[in-house]
Amino acid sequence: MPKSVLDKVWAYFDAAGPLVGRQWPVAYRTDEAQRVETLRRFGVRKFTSLVYPHKPAMAAWLNEWAAGFAASTPDCLATATFYPEPDAARYVAEALRAGTRIFKAHLQVGDYDPNDPALDGVWAMIDDANVPVVIHCGSGPRPGRFTGPAPILALLQRRPRLPLVIAHMGMPEYREFIDIAERFENVRLDTTMVFTPFTDESMPFPRSELARLRRLGDRILFGSDFPNIPYSYTDALRSLTELSGVDETWLRGVLYHNAAQLFSL
């Protein structure tokens, strides 16, 4: 994120803001160059910036920053975002023409309905371009007015081919979002924060659903929320490798091959 935005995000976590609701020590509080180098040392081949607005007239500026960052950082996939506002279709079209590879939407922080008519043109372009959208739509860590499976299901009923990546596996509505992934073939789930001891304290993944998760193995993507996680990157990896019943093929897919295929890397 731009430094001015990231500083505010870190301050929000430090204060255990209302959307966080608990102590959240940021594990990788370093400058931008150090963060990029840390990811490279971890062996990360490609990553995203995943910017998102919390108010109008912010998304276009974030997209400009993200495009510049990706241009100067070859291992970052070009990222963009949007918000329900009159010029959303214009700047999303510009982002797609400029080569955006992934969008980020955050319904909790942005406090908007994905079915807002102002986004109809945005979803149409994303659908046509088949560019994935990582979307925070689950009700964790705190519910929002438009979080939960119902708004996403309504969106997918209108546009069943949308390539959505459900952040945090839809935490804590894991079962409902697995249902959605089983129903819509272009829906994927990312593992961000799921299975870690930090998350298991308050929103544990139901172990009864592991068999379904294993069957969806080609549509599960590793996510980290680096640098804003309250534990180590190694902890996130270990939480996956120690899952009951998963084999090396499943792990290779989740940690590498599924994303490589999705982004044609």
pLDDT at 127: 98
pLDDT at 21: 81
Query: 109: exposed, middle or buried (C-beta count within 10 Å: 0-12, 13-18, 19+)?
Result: middle
pLDDT at 147: 98
Q: Residues 206-245: pLDDT tens digits?
A: 999 999 999 999 999 999 999 999 999 999 999 999 999 9
Beta strands in the chain (DSSP E): 47-48, 76-77, 79-81, 102-106, 133-136, 164-166, 188-190, 220-221
Q: Is the pLDDT of residue 129 over 90?
A: yes
Query: 237: exposed, middle or buried (C-beta count within 10 Å: 0-12, 13-18, 19+)?
Result: middle
Q: Is the pLDDT of residue 5 over 90?
A: yes
- 43: domain CATH number is 3.20.20.140
Q: Residues 158-186: pLDDT tens digits?
A: 999 999 999 999 999 999 999 999 999 99
CB 219 within 8 A of CB 258: yes
Query: Can you spell out the DSSP letters for 186-229?
Result: T-EEE-TTTTSHHHHTTSPPPGGGHHHHHHTGGGEE----TTS-
Calculate what percentage of the chain has a pLDDT beyond 90: 97
- Rg (C-alpha) for the chain, rounded Å, is 17
pLDDT mean over 234-260: 96
Q: Residues 15-48: pLDDT tens digits?
A: 988 888 889 999 999 999 999 999 999 999 999 9
DSSP category for residue 144: -
pLDDT mean over 97-102: 98
Range(s) of the domain holding residue 197: 3-262
What rounded mean pLDDT belongs to the chain? 96
For 133, list phi and psi in degrees, rounded to 5.
-125, 115
pLDDT at 185: 97
Query: 131: exposed, middle or buried (C-beta count within 10 Å: 0-12, 13-18, 19+)?
Result: buried
If one counts every other C-beta atom within 10 angstroms of the C-beta of residue 159, the result is 15
pLDDT at 19: 86
CB 90 within 8 A of CB 96: no
Confidence of residue 50 (pLDDT cuts 50, 70, 90): confident
Closest CA to 47 of 192, 218, 185, 232: 192
Q: Residues 145-161: pLDDT tens digits?
A: 999 999 999 999 999 99
pLDDT at 18: 87
Number of domains in the chain: 1
